[in-house]
Amino acid sequence: MRKKRTLAGTAAFGLALALSLAACGTEDAGDDSSPDSASEGPGGFVPPDIAMADSLGDNEGTLSVLAWPGYAEDGSTDKAVDWVTPFEKQTGCDVSVKYFNTSDEAVTLMKSGQYDVVSASGDATLRLIAAGDVAPVNTDLIPNYADEYDFLKDRPWNSVGGQMYGVPHGYGANLLMYNTDVVKPAPTSWRAVFEDASTYSGKVTAYDSPIYIADAALYLMKTQPDLGIKDPYALDADQLAAAVDLLKAQKEHVGEYWSDYLKEISAFESGDSVVGTTWQVIVNYTKANVEAILPEEGATGWSDTWMISSKTEVPNCAYAWLNHIISPEANAAVAEWFGEAPANPKACDLTSEGFCDGYHAGDESYADQIHYWTTPIEQCLDGRTDVSCTTYQDWTQAWTEIKG
């Protein structure tokens, strides 16, 4: 499922949507921003005028949910894991859940108008907003919103011009995990998997996706300022080449790339891997002496938002769902099942002991060090206009080349 999350990287990244919209002028977003205003960046685009609910009425009785696998469990996977049924009982809204695997799918499906709410990642949100597929959200109608961490509100990927288009749901970072019995001294930097990878040659692991190039770019951004990398997702051809070289050198020492939980857990438990990038949830499940750190360079990561379709015929149930899913109970259940930091601090009272500390929930300085996954596109996301940046397609081919 998290593996699918990287697939999310496929989708074109929303932040630069305005730029691109103006550049090709073909999207069906009702946005008429001129190239000039668009070049001002994310703030420069005007979303289509869609009415926002200003009051709520009676629940309509049905709700169609479009979600990442694991975000809307109704007990069918595991009887004990269920935060959909309580919602149905409370609100009388009958829920049908559809899972999607990539942000692209989510965007396509939302266009059909068949779904009322969606859990969107940072690489889908602004596309949905600009296309007019999701409506602005009146957070006053969502009591639990007030409890959420302030640093997750009004961010570029979930709001436009101070107007929220959804409610923050959860976030996480890609950490550096190592086997404490083998890797000594404890690493503090991503250097452990790049320049120092030879120390544990054959037992280094890395995430198997083109998006992992951003991890290398982040490292270069901090260690080789000459390259001029400002944003790990905005790489021109030279910067990409530097990242590719770094990863090719790393590959010599990589035992295997991992793409799913179980693969990395089993590799660390058996000793096939001893150091590499990881997620908190993997650390928690690994029954070996491992530790994970947020290295001094910071890390890549993800952040998700629940949004409401602009075409929904059941706005009351939709608002009820948004309120429910960020309620302490549901938010805690999702966070634990999925393995990420909850967006509602009150959820931390309900999670198992030490859970929120483990995921650094609410630690703002920790969250600030995360460079959230976004899809690289031709228009540089860091605002450069004198060069064109490499696209995710370029990254995909580069990744093939790195693995050889």
Partner 1 sequence: MSGVLHRHPRLRLGLLLGPPMLWLGVAYLGALAALFITALWTADGFTGNIQREWTLDNFKDVFSLEVYRTITIRTLLTAVAVTVIDAALAFPVALYMAKVASPRAQRLLVIAILTPLWASYLVKAYAWRGMFSADGPIAWLADPFGLSTPGYGLVATVVTLAYLWLPYMILPMYAGLERLPNSLLEASADLGAGARVTLRRVVLPVLFPAVVAGSIFTFSLTLGDYIAVKIVGGTNQMLGNVIYDNVLTGNNLPFAAAVSTIPVVIMLVYLAAVRRTGALDNL
Partner 2 sequence: MTLSPLTRRLLALITGVALLVVYAPLMLVLLNSFNTSQSFAWPPTGLTTRWWQAAWESQGARAAIWTSVEVAVLATAIALVLGTMAALALQRFAFFGRDFVSLLIILPIALPGVVTGIALANAFTTMIGIELGFFTLVVSHATFCIVTVFNNAVARLRRLGGNLEEASMDLGAGTFRTFFKITLPMLRSSLLAGGLLAFALSFDEIIVTTFTVGQGIQTLPIWIYQNLFRPNQAPVVNVVAAALIVLSVVPIWIAQRLAGTDESVAAAH
Where b means 16+ CB within 10 Å and e means fewer, 288-308 reads eebebbbbebbbbbbbbbbbb
Beta pairing partners, 168: 305
Looking only at residues 201 through 260 of this chain, which bind partner 1 when binding is defined by CB under 8 A? 202, 208-210, 251, 254-257, 259
Choose which of 196, 363, 378, 382 interacts with partner 1 (CB under 8 A). 378
C-alpha 98/C-alpha 164 separation (Å) is 24
Which residue type does 2 have? R
* Segment contacting partner 2 by CB under 8 A, of 51-59, 95-103, 116-124, 213-221: 95-103
Quick check: 293 binds partner 2 (CB under 8 A)? no
Q: Pattern of binders to partner 1 over 27-46, x per CB under 8 A?
A: x-------------------
Q: Pattern of binders to partner 2 over 302-341, x per CB under 8 A?
A: ----------------------------------------
C-alpha 283/C-alpha 286 separation (Å) is 5
- The residues near 12 (Cβ < 8 Å, ≥ 6 apart) are 20, 123, 127, 375, 377, 392
Q: What is the DSSP letter of 188?
A: -
Looking at beta carbons only, is 104 or 304 nearer to partner 1?
Answer: 104
- Strand, helix or coil for residue 307: strand
Choose which of 271, 349, 364, 368 interacts with partner 1 (CB under 8 A). 271
Least separation, in Å, of the C-beta of 285 and partner 2? 4
Looking at beta carbons only, is 5 or 169 nearer to partner 1?
Answer: 5
Place of tokens 């409610």: 167
Looking at beta carbons only, is 163 or 259 nearer to partner 2?
Answer: 259
Choose which of 78, 80, 162, 270 interacts with partner 1 (CB under 8 A). 270
Choose which of 1, 23, 227, 293 interacts with partner 2 (CB under 8 A). 1
- The residues near 277 (Cβ < 8 Å, ≥ 6 apart) are 174, 175, 176, 177, 193, 205, 206, 207, 212, 215
C-alpha atoms less than 13 angstroms from C-alpha of 220 in its C-beta half-sphere: 26
Is residue 8 a contact partner of residue 102, using CB atoms and an 8 Å limit?
yes
Q: ∠ at Cα 357 (352, 362), nearest 5°?
A: 115
Least separation, in Å, of the C-beta of 244 and partner 1? 11
Quick check: 89 binds partner 2 (CB under 8 A)? no
- Tell me the helices (H) and strands (E) count for the chain, helix number first: 15, 14
Count of residues for the chain? 404
C-alpha 35/C-alpha 23 separation (Å) is 7
Q: How many CB atoms lie within 10 A of CB 115?
A: 25
Looking only at residues 101 through 130 of this chain, which bind partner 2 when binding is defined by CB under 8 A? 101, 105, 109
Residue 257's binding partner out of partner 1, partner 2, none, with CB under 5 to 8 Å set by partner kind: partner 1
Least separation, in Å, of the C-beta of 188 and partner 2? 27
Least separation, in Å, of the C-beta of 164 and partner 1? 25
Choose which of 34, 76, 188, 289 interacts with partner 2 (CB under 8 A). 76
* Segment contacting partner 2 by CB under 8 A, of 260-268, 306-314, 347-355, 362-370: 260-268
Residue numbers at the binding site for partner 1 (CB under 8 A):
6-7, 9-12, 20, 24, 27, 102, 104, 202, 208-210, 251, 254-257, 259, 262-263, 266-267, 270-272, 377-378, 391-397, 399-401, 403-404
Q: Give contact residues for partner 2 (rule: CB under 8 A).
A: 1-3, 69-70, 75-79, 98-101, 105, 109, 260-263, 265-266, 269, 281-282, 285-287
